Amino acid sequence: MATQEIEKRGETGNNVEVERDSVHKEIAIVKMNRATGNKLSTDFMTELNTTLEKLENDDSCRGIILTSAIAGIFSLGLDGTEMYQKSLESTSAFWRSLQDFWMRLYGSKLATVAAINGHSPATGCQMAMSCDYRVMSEGPFGIGLPEVTVGLVAPFWFQEVMVKTCGERQTEMAVGLGTMFTPEEALKIGLVDEVVRPGDLISKAREQLLKWLKNPDRPRAMTKDMRRGPLLEKLRAQQEEDIATFNEYIHEKSVQESFGMSLESRKK
Amino acid sequence: MATQEIEKRGETGNNVEVERDSVHKEIAIVKMNRATGNKLSTDFMTELNTTLEKLENDDSCRGIILTSAIAGIFSLGLDGTEMYQKSLESTSAFWRSLQDFWMRLYGSKLATVAAINGHSPATGCQMAMSCDYRVMSEGPFGIGLPEVTVGLVAPFWFQEVMVKTCGERQTEMAVGLGTMFTPEEALKIGLVDEVVRPGDLISKAREQLLKWLKNPDRPRAMTKDMRRGPLLEKLRAQQEEDIATFNEYIHEKSVQESFGMSLESRKK
Amino acid sequence: MATQEIEKRGETGNNVEVERDSVHKEIAIVKMNRATGNKLSTDFMTELNTTLEKLENDDSCRGIILTSAIAGIFSLGLDGTEMYQKSLESTSAFWRSLQDFWMRLYGSKLATVAAINGHSPATGCQMAMSCDYRVMSEGPFGIGLPEVTVGLVAPFWFQEVMVKTCGERQTEMAVGLGTMFTPEEALKIGLVDEVVRPGDLISKAREQLLKWLKNPDRPRAMTKDMRRGPLLEKLRAQQEEDIATFNEYIHEKSVQESFGMSLESRKK
């Protein structure tokens, strides 16, 4: 992608803050900061994608900590307004922005650590699972793939990332029941790697990231690609089909109605 | 399948008892009750298949508890008499009835909980593993895939269901050694999800089933299909080949002889 | 392969000692004993392959214990001198000898137990993981796939064997960080099955091997093949491609230079 186009895409939003670690300059801290509780809209995901792309193209950056600037919320997942009473063109662009952002994050040559500072349902959980390591803050927070509880189905690539993280049996139960796990429960099934005090979150994430950065970048990235490449290729090969599946389901009358009721009830 | 045909198939046996839960009418309790220790004959598996089919087609039913009416025995697995000195046609029908019953159970749109009240070797274990959740009674019972200990090989779809339940390494050891696990051991490796006092078996199974029934049926079934569909498709695509593999092995002279000796020794 | 050719290959080295267990004659104890710390050269791997082949063709042998005659070292992995300033022909033969030896070990119809008596990095770890069971000696030893730490990438078939042993998540971290595990850590993640006192190593390995030998050989080998055949077939289907991938990387100037420095530093 031409630099000009990247710059242009960067203009679409300013809901992502990037700062370099004061000591370890090769580490960028990427903070999501969208007023809605980091709900993922088309524009927000495009901005996140562009941010990662820039950091990957910047030789001075070797790893990132993905976190949120909003107290108690990592990300509340997809922005429901993007799926309610929208055109097919619009929902297609929405889903594609999710696919593209996810493929960049999951396959990033950068080392990536999620510092999960709060609630992390659905795509919030998927973002965290797609990093190389997960540190979560203690507290009254939930993480999981609860799609089924609101009448939706977690896409195959969400489910398969969870299988790679927690194993098949835990995933089957987690997505079948739509379980939201406490940090301690998430630790127990391997959904997160560490649970720490809120004040230690970033320092613990940095500590882990430095472990990944001990190794030379190229073989580390090649090794990561060997583990994650097949799933990335699988989605890439059926990206259009995956969009069609999403559209078909989301535009059903009954699904739209339940979305409408859900969005209404949250306004109250 | 036409209702008439279902009815006709239902006539073949009366070794399956179905009752509705007194409080939660959407739950059917399916009790296996065949005098042989619930050994699975062609007719018995056809009856079980038909029973499930009827319940799936009955909108008032949303979930089942699969258990046994025989004290201390869930199911002793395949009925060896169906494999001894039988025609190729007969053993083919036998194996097909197993495949068909299993595909229906493993892929059922109903939520399914196994209430394992006793011994559960081989296909007994496979039935339990193919439910959405497993509660097992404490007691001197064994569960596992011991095929190798009697000169047989657990079919790939038995082994792959165990991999999905317990992971690859536990499965490799379990099928390679033919281990029969105590309830406590089974719990430890994830082969069952819960071990309870015999008197609590059905109530605990019900409690778990109600968790699965909290979610709307359609997305729950779609989510289940996403996890289980690929293995079902794999068997469906090679169903005839799988029957041929079974026949080839089972009709070998040495295998028939060892069956004969085994059946003889049990008569004593 | 003709016996004559086996004999001829057997002549290439005498770094493998084979003795029969004094009580259980069906057990062969295979001891690696190459002065370099059992570093795996082309000739040494060919000798190991030939040794296994002979034992497989010997009806009096049913299982092996794979161990080392060198105190504190199981195997230090591939012999770096085979990859430094060598012809394409030479490195191709080297890699092929590794593939061929591994395919024989991983798919052996014999029951195989690794008695890991010391350090076991890289291909040392891969050999151990490719047995049916692993007993490791307590002590200041490391086991793991640290390729990434020296600028290399563990081949897909090393990684996939680790996935089958420890699961995807543990593998992703282990190969991404290049972790060398202590025996206790290895036990915790399932990389080894048992950690014992050094003096108990062989007796515990024998005890386990006898468990595998309780079952009839043929269904045991068929069951093993069902679990391991697909990965073996995958490598067999892309054996030449895998050699080309190895050659392409290993002959890069920067990789050769880092090999040179590494070999130099060890001389000091």
Contact partners, residue B56, CB within 8 Å, separation at least 6? B104, B108, B109, B110
Summarised one tens digit per residue, pLDDT across range A130-161 is 999 999 999 999 999 999 999 999 999 999 99
Instruction: Name all chains with 3 or more CB-CB pairs below 8 Å to chain C.
Output: A, B
Per-residue model confidence (pLDDT) at position A193 = 98
CB nearest to B226's CB, from A152, A159, A169: A159
Q: Count of CB atoms within 10 A of residue A196's CB?
A: 18
- pLDDT on residue B5: 40
Place of tokens 């000091």: C268
Chain mean position to CA C140: 20
Measure CB to CB from residue C176 to each of A132, A164, A165 and give the nearest one: A132
Q: HEC profile for chain C? A: CCHHHHHHHHCCCCCEEEEECCCCCCEEEEEECCCCCCCECHHHHHHHHHHHHHHHHCCCCCEEEEEECCCEECCCCECHHHHCCCCHHHHHHHHHHHHHHHHHHHCCCCEEEEEECEEEECHHHHHHHCCCEEEEECCCCCEECCHHHHCCCCCHHHHHHHHHHHCHHHHHHHHHHCCEECHHHHHHHCCCCEEECHHHHHHHHHHHHHHHCCCCHHHHHHHHHHHHHHHHHHHHHCHHHHHHHHHHHHCCHHHHHHHHHHHHHHHC
Determine, for residues B227 and A168 on separate chains, whether the beta-carbon distance falls below 8 Å.
Answer: yes
| Residue contact C219–B171, C-beta within 8 A | no
Helices B239-250 and B253-267 sit at what angle, rounded to 10 degrees? 70
On chain C, the residues whose CB falls within 8 A of the CB of B231 are: none
* Of residues C195, C194, C189, the one with CA closest to residue C175: C189
pLDDT at A191 over 50: yes
Task: Find chain B residues with C-beta within 8 A of C132's C-beta.
Answer: 172, 176
Over residues B230-268, the pLDDT tens digits come to 999 999 999 999 999 999 999 999 889 888 887 787 765
φ and ψ at A119, to 5 degrees? -50, 140
Smallest Cβ distance to C219: which of B151, B159, B173?
B151
- Cβ of A156 within 8 Å of Cβ of B226? The answer is yes
pTM as predicted? 0.94
Q: Nearest chain B residue to A151 by CA: give it.
A: B219
pLDDT at A12 over 90: no
pLDDT tens readout for residues B122-173: 999 999 999 999 999 999 999 999 999 999 999 999 999 999 999 999 999 9
Q: Tell me whether residues C147 and A227 touch, CB distance under 8 A.
A: no
Distance from the Cα of B31 to chain C's closest Cα (Å) equals 32
B4 pLDDT exceeds 50?
no
Sheet with strand A143-144: strands edge to edge: A72-73, A118-121, A143-144, A180-181
Task: Judge whether residue A127 has pLDDT over 80.
Answer: yes
Alpha carbon B127 to its chain centroid, in Å, reads: 2
| Residue B193: predicted pLDDT | 98
pLDDT at C122 over 50: yes
Contact C167 B171 (CB under 8 A): no
Mean pLDDT over the full length of chain A: 93
State the pLDDT at residue A10.
38
Please name the CATH architecture into which domain A3-267 falls.
Answer: Alpha-Beta Complex (3.90)
Domain boundaries, chain A: 3-267
What proportions of chain B, in percent to the nearest 5, are helix, strand and coil? Answer: 55, 15, 30
Choose among B164, B166, B219: nearest Cβ to A148.
B219
* Closest approach of B260 to chain A, Cα-based (Å): 38
C contacts of A190 (beta carbons < 8 Å): 169
pLDDT score, position A68: 98
In chain B, residues with a C-beta closer than 8 Å to the C-beta of C211 are 177
Q: Which pair of tokens denotes residue B88? A: 């190729």
Name the residue in chain B with its Cα closest to that of A175: B223
Nearest C-alpha of chain A: how many angstroms from B212? 6
Which range, of B11-15, B41-45, B148-152, B226-230, averages the lowest pLDDT? Answer: B11-15
CB contacts < 8 A (B, C)? 54
Contacts 24+ apart (CB under 8 A), C15-19: C15/C44, C15/C47, C16/C44, C16/C47, C16/C48, C16/C51, C17/C69, C18/C51, C18/C55
* Start-to-end Cα distance in chain A: 43
- State the pLDDT at residue C13: 67
The count of other CB atoms within 10 Å of the CB of residue C190 is: 15
Q: Which of B164, B212, B216 sits opposite A177 (nearest CB)?
A: B212
Q: Are B76 and B21 in contact (CB under 8 A)?
A: no
Nearest C-alpha in B relative to C227? B172
Q: Report CB contact under 8 Å: C151, A227.
A: no
- Kindly list the residues from chain A whose CB atom is less than 8 angstroms away from the CB atom of residue C151: 216, 218-219
- Chain C residues touching chain A at CB-CB below 8 Å: 147-149, 151-154, 156, 159, 167-169, 171-173, 175-178
* CA distance, residue A192 to nearest chain C CA (Å): 11
Arithmetic mean of pLDDT, A66-86 = 96
| Residue from A158, A172, A234 to probe the interface with B (highest B Cβ count within 10 Å) | A172
User: Using one digit for the tens of pLDDT, what is the confidence trace for C61-94?
Assistant: 999 999 999 999 999 999 999 999 999 999 999 9
Chain A contacts of B166, Cβ < 8 Å?
169
Residue B192 above 90 pLDDT? yes
Q: Which has the higher per-residue pLDDT, B27 or C11?
A: B27
Average pLDDT, chain B: 93
pLDDT of residue B242: 98
Closest to B153 measured CA to CA, from B252, B68, B59, B61: B252
The pLDDT, as a whole number, for residue A2 is 39
Q: Is C267 exposed, middle or buried (0-12, 13-18, 19+ CB in 10 A)?
A: exposed
Instruction: State the smallest CA–CA distance between residue B127 and chain A in angstroms.
Output: 16
Residue B201 has pLDDT above 80, yes or no: yes
Phi-psi region of C139 (alpha: psi -120 to 50; beta: other; left: phi over 0): left
Confidence class for position C213, pLDDT limits 50, 70, 90: very high
Q: In A, which residues are within 8 Å of B215 by CB distance?
A: 148-149, 176-178
Q: Do A231 and C168 form a contact (C-beta atoms < 8 A)? A: no
- Contact list in A for residue C148 (CB cut-off 8 A) is 215-216, 219-220, 223
Are C214 and B177 inside 8 Å of each other by CB? Answer: yes
- Indicate if the pLDDT at residue C5 is higher than 50: no
Query: What is the rounded radius of gyration, in angstroms, for the C-alpha atoms of chain C?
Result: 18
